[in-house]
Copies of this chain bind each other. A is one copy, B any other.
C-alpha cells in the first residue's frame, strides 16, 4: 500500500511563464516540430500543448546529441530562456539537455510544420490524427473550446443550470425523416435531434437551463453546411414576456463570447487570423420584411434559402453595419409543432433564426406552454397525441411561458473563421460518407 497525495502535479509549458523566466533554466516536455541544422548549431523547434518554442542546440552547451531526433519525436528538454524577437512568442531556449522519450515509427505524411497543411480537405480528414498536429489546424479546436467556455460561463452567470439529457430517445423532437434509428434491445429507439423536450421539461423546475451536447440529424445530402452529428449549444428560459427576451439573451451572450475570446484566446485568434465580429446590437426583421428585402432576388416563399441568408446578411452589413441579423415570425407551417403561433396572425410562429455571415446559426422561439393549445396544434397537424403523452405531461402539470434556442457550435466556429466547409470546424466530422477516424 502507498498513498496517492494529489500534489506535485506535472506542470504544462506556458509561453507567458517562459517570458517571466528570462535568463533562467526551465524544463519541459514537448514534441519536435521541426529541426533545422545550421553550420555550427541546430534549431530544434518544439511544439507544446499550445505554443511553439524555438530552441537552439549546440554541442558546447548541450552534451546530448540530437542525432536521430527529428520531426515527430517526443523529448524532455532543459535550457535557459532568452529573449529573441524573431522567435515565436519572443523567446527562445538554449538547450542544456535533450532526452528522447518517444519516437514515431513513420514520418508524417503531411507537412505538419508548414503554416498551412496545403492538402485537400479529404486527405486532411483521412489523416486527421496527423493533420491536427499542425498549429493552425489545432488552433481551430482550441478556439472551439473558447466558444464553449464563453457560452457556459455566460449561462452560469445568468443563473442557467447545466443539464444532461439522454440522446437515446423513444420520440424525436423535430420529427420528419432525418432521424437515426437504433437497435435498443427489442425496442425501437432513435438518436435525439435536439434536447428540446428535455430542456423544456427542466424549465419547470430550474427556470433556466442549458446543455452542451451532441445532436443527430440523418441528413441524406452532403453539403458544406451540414453534419450528421454536431454539438448543440442549447438554452431554454422560463418567465419570458416574448421571444424577444430569448433574442436579447442570445445577443448579450454573443457579445460576452467575443470579449471572452479576445481576452483568453488571442494566441489562437492570431494564428487563425480570425476577424471576430462586433456584437453591440443586432437588427431584427420579420420574415415578411425579409421577403420585401429579398424582392427581386427570390420568388414568394415560405422559408429562407441559403442564398437568401447570404443576401440578408449583406443587407444587414450594408444597412446596419451588423454581421448578424435576426429573422422572426416565420410561417407556422415551416416551424416545429411546439412553436407558439402569433396571437394576432396564427399563420406565423413566434420563432426566429439568427443569421451570421450568410448562414443560419441559431433557431429559436417561444414555445407553447398551455396544454390545450399544444393539443389543439398537434391535432391540427394530424399528430397522434398518444405518441407524445410523456412529453405532454409538462404542459398538463403546468409550464411558465418559456422559450429558447439552439446554436450549432460548428456553424458558429466555421463562420468565425470564414471557413468554406463545416467539416473544417469539426474535430472528427460525421457525414453521409465519413465514419472514420
Contacts and interface: CB of A to CB of B under 8 A. Distances in A.
A397 B435 contact: no
B181 A162 contact: no
A133 interface: yes
A215 B165 CA distance: 12
A65 B43 CA distance: 81
A144 interface: yes
Interface in A285-330: 285, 289, 320, 326
Contacts of A281: 3-6
A152 B145 CA distance: 12
A403 to B, nearest CB: 12
Interface size classification for chain A: 35 or more
Interface stretch (A84-92, A182-190, A335-343, A377-385): A182-190
A198 to B, nearest CB: 6
B169 A435 contact: yes
B207 A102 contact: no
A9 to B, nearest CB: 6
B371 A105 contact: yes
A168 B12 contact: no
A284 B248 CA distance: 52
A252 interface: yes
Interface of A: 1-10, 12, 14, 29, 31, 47-50, 72-74, 76, 101-106, 108-109, 127-130, 132-133, 138, 141-142, 144-145, 148-149, 152, 156, 158-159, 161-170, 180-185, 187, 189, 191, 197-198, 201-202, 204-208, 213-214, 216, 218, 220, 228-229, 231, 237-240, 244-245, 247-255, 279-285, 289, 320, 326, 369-372, 390-391, 393-401, 409, 427-430, 432, 435-437
8 contacts: A3-B284, A5-B280, A10-B240, A48-B207, A108-B397, A130-B397, A148-B162, A166-B214
